[in-house]
Homo-oligomer: A and B are copies of this chain.
Amino acid sequence: MKLFGEIIKEKREEKGLFLRQVSALMELDQAIISKLERQERKASREQVLKFAEIYDLNPDDLIISWRSDKVAYELMNEENAEQILKVAETKVKYLKKK
Task: Report which A residues bind B (CB closer than 8 A).
Answer: 1, 3, 60, 63-65, 67-76, 78-92, 94-96
CB of A68 within 8 A of CB of B88, answer: yes
- Bound together, the chains give a CA A59 to CA B46 distance in angstroms of 38
Nearest-Cβ distance from residue A96 to partner chain B, whole angstroms: 6
Q: Chain A contact residues: over half helix, strand or loop, or mixed?
A: helix
> Do A64 and B91 have beta carbons less than 8 Å apart?
no
Whether the pair B91, A69 counts as a contact (CB closer than 8 A) is yes
A85 and B85 CA atoms in complex are apart in Å by 7
CB A45 to nearest CB in B, in angstroms, measures 10
Tell me if B87 and A65 are in contact (CB < 8 A). yes
Write out the residue numbers on chain B whose beta carbons fall within 8 Å of the beta carbon of A76: 92, 95-96
16 pairs, A vs B, C-beta closer than 8 Å: A1-B90, A60-B80, A64-B84, A67-B75, A67-B84, A67-B88, A68-B88, A69-B88, A69-B91, A71-B92, A72-B91, A72-B92, A73-B95, A81-B92, A81-B96, A85-B89
